């Protein structure tokens, strides 16, 4: 007999209930019988989902599982502790960062970011930017700023030095094959735009050679007029770099020491223009000593240029803030 038939048999008919109490009981019985056990279907069988939840594998019934651990000798335990101790010490050394090429125990350290990018450590007259290495060559400066725009130095610098090896000046880059240049720039992204922009910039530099006495209106309204504003692709970052590292001799004037040269620089540009790229930095002085150097009035937006100015102002014994400018002496 089915559940429905049993319910019909157990529930009395309303016509058979003579008194009011019997009628109320009949009504409650009919309502209660309408709710069936969700685990029981109409045929009286238990649902499959309930059977699956309640089923236990016969292999696990009445069986106690135990994990047998082989005994470890004291020597083996000490050896494992030594291995873990060495691993922890190595991780701490890596997190602490390198303090030099070799430590007191002779362990080789990882090179710093500046050494990896430029092949040179930080020095008294070298903070660690590519602008310090390529200036006062404006062509190199503009190529470097174009590649560094929205790209990290560790990715852009190998491409930069390879580009200079193939096309060392604006005359050769102006005649470059756009397909070859695009393939070279492909790993750092924006290769199509950068290739066309670099070729256009080089052609303009051939037509209108760089002269610091010129002044052209900048495309960026927040940037002043400069001699490089006429070249395609020159924005605020390139203009700030020119004002800091080229104008009036650049911020390197007064630092002293020989101009740092990257070991990655294999171009022959140094031999072609010895008056610009060879010699000590201290020999490059502004045209007029009474005029305030251009780099002292720059308020750059780039974080790397800001960090350089903080370092450079500290060389002057002053405290410089990226938002407020010169604050006070330390």
* pLDDT (tens digit per residue) in 292-321: 899 999 999 999 999 999 999 999 999 999
Residues 6+ apart with CB under 8 A from 127: 307, 308, 311, 312
List the single range of 3-12, 15-24, 195-204, 261-270 with lowest mean pLDDT: 3-12
Residues 278 and 176 in one domain: yes
Domain count, the chain: 2
Assigned domain for 200 exists: yes
Average pLDDT value for residue range 23-32: 59
Is 322's pLDDT higher than 90? yes
Give me the pLDDT at residue 119, please.
87
- 306 assigned to some structural domain: no
> Do 41 and 136 sit in the same domain of this protein?
no
Domain-located, residue 232:
yes
pLDDT digits (tens, 9 = 90+) for 249-279: 999 988 888 888 999 988 744 444 433 333 3
- Please compute, for residue 226, the number of CA atoms within 13 A of its CA located in the half-sphere on the CB side: 27
Assigned token pair, 71: 């005994």
Same domain, 16 and 164: no
Q: Which CATH number does the domain housing residue 265 bear?
A: 1.10.340.30
Same domain for 134 and 19: no
Please report whether residue 97 resides in a domain.
no
Q: Tell me, yes or no, whether 83 lies in a domain.
A: no
Same domain assignment for residues 134 and 36 = no
- Is residue 35 domain-shared with residue 142, that is, in the same domain? no
Least confident of 203-212, 226-235, 320-329: 320-329
* The token pair that represents 51 in the structure block: 């059977």
Residue 101 to residue 74: CA distance in whole angstroms: 38
User: What residues make up the domain containing 275?
Assistant: 130-292
Task: Establish if 171 belongs to a structural domain.
Answer: yes
Cis peptide before 136 (omega within 30 of 0): yes
Backbone angles phi, psi at 42, to 5 degrees: -70, -25
Q: Same domain, yes or no, for 145 and 252?
A: yes
Whether 244 shows a pLDDT value over 70: the answer reads: yes
Whether 135 and 42 share a structural domain:
no
Q: What pLDDT score was predicted for residue 80?
A: 74
- Global pTM reads 0.63
Look at the block and give the residue holding tokens 């692709």.
233
d(CA 329, CA 93): 37
Quote the mean pLDDT of the chain: 77
Asked whether the predicted pLDDT for residue 46 surpasses 70, the reply is no
> 199 near 174, Cβ under 8 Å?
yes
Tell me what the mean pLDDT of segment 186-204 comes to. 95
Residues 32 and 166 in one domain: no
- pLDDT of amino acid 165: 95
Q: Are 145 and 273 members of one domain?
A: yes
Handedness of CA 278, 279, 282, 284 (dihedral sign): negative
- Residue 106 counted as domain residue: no
Evaluate whether residue 100 is within a structural domain: no
User: What count of Cα atoms within 13 Å lies in the side-chain half-sphere of residue 176?
Assistant: 29
Least confident of 68-77, 216-225, 284-293, 313-322: 284-293
Pair 139, 264 in one domain: yes
Looking at residue 113, what is its pLDDT?
84
- Which residues touch 270 (CB under 8 Å, ≥6 apart)? 261, 277, 278
* Domain identity same for 280 and 154: yes
| pLDDT band per the 50, 70, 90 thresholds, residue 184 | very high
Q: Who's near 227: CB < 8 A, 6+ residues apart?
A: 210, 211, 212, 213, 214, 215, 216, 242
Instruction: Identify the CA nearest to 202 among candidates 166, 251, 159.
Output: 166
């Amino acid at each position: 007999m089915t559940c429905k038939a049993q319910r019909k048999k157990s529930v009395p008919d309303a016509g058979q209930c003579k008194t009011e109490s019997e009628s109320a009981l009949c009504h409650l019985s009919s309502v209660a019988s309408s709710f069936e056990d969700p685990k029981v279907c109409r045929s009286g069988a238990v649902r499959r989902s309930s059977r699956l939840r309640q089923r236990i594998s016969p292999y696990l019934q009445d069986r106690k599982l135990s994990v047998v651990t082989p005994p470890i000798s004291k020597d083996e335990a000490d050896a494992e502790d030594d291995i873990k101790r060495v691993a922890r010490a190595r991780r701490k050394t890596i997190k602490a960062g390198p303090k030099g090429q070799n430590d007191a125990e002779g362990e080789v350290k990882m090179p710093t970011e500046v050494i990896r990018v430029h092949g040179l450590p930080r020095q008294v007259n070298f903070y660690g930017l590519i602008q310090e290495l390529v200036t006062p060559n404006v062509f190199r400066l503009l190529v470097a700023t174009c590649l560094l725009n929205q790209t990290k130095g560790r990715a852009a610098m190998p491409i930069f030095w390879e580009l200079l090896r193939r096309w060392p000046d604006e005359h050769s880059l102006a005649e470059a094959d756009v397909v070859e240049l695009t393939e070279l720039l492909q790993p750092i992204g924006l290769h199509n735009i950068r290739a066309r922009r670099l070729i256009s910039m080089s052609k303009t530099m051939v037509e209108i050679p760089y002269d610091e006495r010129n002044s052209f209106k900048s495309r960026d309204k927040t940037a002043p007029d400069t001699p490089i504003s006429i070249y395609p692709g020159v924005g605020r970052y390139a203009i700030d770099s020119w004002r800091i590292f080229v104008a009036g001799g650049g911020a390197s004037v007064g630092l002293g020491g020989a101009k740092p040269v990257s070991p990655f620089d294999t171009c022959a540009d140094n031999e072609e223009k010895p008056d610009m790229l060879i010699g000590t930095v201290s020999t490059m002085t502004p045209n007029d000593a009474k005029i305030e150097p251009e780099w002292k009035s720059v308020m750059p937006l780039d974080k790397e240029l800001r960090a350089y100015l903080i370092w450079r102002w500290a060389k002057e014994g002053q405290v410089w803030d990226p938002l407020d400018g010169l604050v006070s002496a330390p």
